[in-house]
Amino acid sequence: MNLSYTGRSYPPTEPYEVGREKIREFALAVGSEPGDGRTAPPTFPIVLSMHAEKQVVDDPDFGFDFSRVVHRDQRFESVRPVRSGDRLTVTVEVVAADTVDGNDVVTLRGHIREADGGATVCTTTSTLVSRGGR
């Protein structure tokens, strides 16, 4: 893994339009009450951030082996709830990249913003570990 990627940011994703059915599907998948689908569960931004994180883990020059990944940590810092009709983009940055005991560890931060105004909706932080071959 290329440790010099620490601090690198990737371009924002295309706008994602949050729909009621997507909110309901997610709520059911995580065992939440789907309600009317107007307001997403607090962990819904993972749908957007994981899609955006794919830019990093699929970057061949970064050299991170996603096939051996375990999810170490996930955090959400919400400014406001995600709602049906929101158009959101995500910019991902590599906060940290390190090798610990033969395992590659990367921490990624996703800045989820309104596509039209740029106001922050949520920040996600994911720490992934790609297990070394032993």
Q: For residues 31 and 134, give the distance between their C-alpha atoms in angstroms, rounded to a whole number.
A: 36
Phi, psi dihedrals of residue 103, rounded to the nearest 5°: -110, 135
| pTM for the structure as a whole | 0.92
Cβ contacts of 95 within 8 Å, gap of 6 or more: 6, 107, 108, 109, 125
Strand blocks (E) in 55-102 = 69-78, 87-100
The residue type found at 102 is G
pLDDT in tens, 46-83: 999 999 999 999 999 999 999 999 989 999 999 999 99
Q: For residues 3 and 94, give the distance between their C-alpha atoms in angstroms, rounded to a whole number.
A: 10
Instruction: Going residue by residue through the chain, which has 134 residues, state the pLDDT in tens, using 9 for 90 and above.
Output: 999 999 999 999 999 999 999 999 999 999 988 788 999 999 999 999 999 999 999 999 999 999 999 989 999 999 999 999 999 999 999 999 999 999 999 999 999 999 998 899 999 999 999 998 75
